[in-house]
Structure 1
Amino acid sequence: MFVRAMLSIVLLLVSVASIAGPKIQHWTLGNGARVYFVPAKELPMLQIRVTFDAGSSRDPAGRAGLARLTGAMLNEGAGDLSANDIALRLESLGAELGAGVDRDMAAINLRSLSDSELLDPALDLFAKILAAPSFPAASLERHRAQALVALQKEAQSPGAVAEKTFYRELYGDHLYAHNPLGAEGSIKDITRDDLLQFHRRYFVGANAWIVIVGDASKRQARKIAERIVGKLPAGEPAAPLPAVNPLYAKKSKQIDFPATQTHIIMGQPGLRRGDPDYFPLYVGNYILGGGGLISRLSVEVREKKGYSYSVYSYFYPLRQAGPMIAGLQTKNTQRDDALKLVNKVISDFVAQGPTQAELEAAKKHITGSFPLRLDSNGKIAENLAVIGFYGLPLTYLDEFIPNVEAVTVEQIRKAFRQRVHPDNMLTVTVGGGR
Structure 2
Amino acid sequence: MLHQACVGAALLAVTWAQAALPIQHWTQPNGARVYLVESHAIPMVDVQIDLDAGSRRDPAAQAGLASVMAGQMASGLRADPQGAGPYARAMDENQLGEAWADLGASFGAGAGADRLSFSLRSLSYPDLLDKAVALAARQMAHPAFPEAIWGRDRERLSAAIRESLTQPGTVVQNSYASAVYGSHPYGYKTTPESLSRIGAADLKALHARALRTCNASVSVVGDLSRAQVDALVKRLLALWPAMSACQDMPPVAEVQPLKAAQAVSVPFDSAQAHVLMGQPGYKRNDPDFFPMLVGNHILGGGGFVSRLTEQVREKRGLSYSVYSYFAPGLHAGAFTVGLQTRPDQAAQAIAVAQEVVQTFVKDGPTEAELQAAKANLIGGFALRIDSNRKLLDNVANIAWNRLPLNYLDTWTAQVGRVSADDVRRAMARVLQPERMVTVVLGAQP
Distance 1:87 1:22 in 2: 34
Q: Which residue of 1 aligns with 2:315?
A: 304
Asked if 1:368 is matched to 2:368, the reply is no
Residue 60 of structure 2 aligns to a residue in which SS? Answer: coil
Distance 2:200 2:277 in 1: 38
Q: Which residue of 2 aligns with 1:355?
A: 366
Measured on the aligned residues, the alpha-carbon RMSD in Å equals: 1.8
Q: Report the CA distance between 1:21 and its aligned residue.
A: 7.8
Q: Report the CA distance between 1:61 and its aligned residue.
A: 3.2
Deviates more, 1:422-431 or 1:101-110: 101-110
Residue 62 of structure 2 aligns to a residue in which SS? Answer: coil
Asked if 1:219 is matched to 2:218, the reply is no
Distance 1:141 1:254 in 2: 36
CA contact (8 A) 1:314 1:324 kept: yes
User: Percent identical across equivalent pairs?
Assistant: 40
Q: Report the CA distance between 1:146 and its aligned residue.
A: 2.2
Letter of the 2:302 partner, please give it.
G
CA contact (8 A) 1:126 1:228 kept: yes
CA contact (8 A) 2:217 2:399 kept: yes
The two structures have a TM-score, normalised by structure 1, of 0.94
CA contact (8 A) 1:260 1:432 kept: no
Q: Report the CA distance between 1:226 and its aligned residue.
A: 0.3
Distance 1:349 1:272 in 2: 21
Q: Which residue of 2 aligns with 1:229?
A: 237
Alignment of 1:241-256 (within 5 A): 241-256=252-267
Distance 2:19 2:312 in 1: 37
1:323 to 306, 330, 334: 334
Q: Which residue of 1 aligns with 2:84?
A: none
Q: Which residue of 2 aligns with 1:25?
A: 24
1:114 to 124, 132, 157: 124
Distance 1:395 1:71 in 2: 32
Distance 1:373 1:22 in 2: 13
Q: Report the CA distance between 1:29 and its aligned residue.
A: 2.2
- In structure 2, runs of 5+ residues without a counterpart are 1-8, 79-89
2:165 to 139, 155, 160: 155
For residues 109-147 of structure 1, what are the alpha-carbon distances to aligned partners after superposition, in whole Å with 9 as ceiling and x for unaligned?
111000011111100000111111111112202221221
Q: Report the CA distance between 1:15 and its aligned residue.
A: 5.3
Letter of the 1:381 partner, please give it.
L
For residues 353-390 of structure 1, what are the alpha-carbon distances to aligned partners after superposition, in whole Å with 9 as ceiling and x for unaligned?
10111101000100111111111111111111121112
CA contact (8 A) 2:39 2:221 kept: yes
- In structure 1, runs of 5+ residues without a counterpart are 1-9
CA contact (8 A) 2:138 2:239 kept: no
Asked if 1:47 is matched to 2:55, the reply is no
For residues 66-105 of structure 1, what are the alpha-carbon distances to aligned partners after superposition, in whole Å with 9 as ceiling and x for unaligned?
1111010111112212211211111111002223221111
Q: Which residue of 2 aligns with 1:391?
A: 402
- The 1:432/1:349 distance shift into structure 2, 3 A limit, reads closer
Asked if 1:259 is matched to 2:265, the reply is no
Q: Report the CA distance between 1:432 and its aligned residue.
A: 4.6
Residue 46 of structure 1 aligns to a residue in which SS? Answer: strand
CA contact (8 A) 1:93 1:122 kept: yes
Asked if 1:59 is matched to 2:61, the reply is no
Asked if 1:295 is matched to 2:281, the reply is no
CA contact (8 A) 1:21 1:398 kept: no
Alignment of 1:78-157 (within 5 A): 78-79=77-78, 80-157=90-167
The two structures have a TM-score, normalised by structure 2, of 0.92
Q: Report the CA distance between 1:19 and its aligned residue.
A: 4.8
Distance 1:108 1:16 in 2: 31
Structure 1's consecutive aligned runs of 4 or more residues displaced over 4 angstroms after TM superposition are 10-15
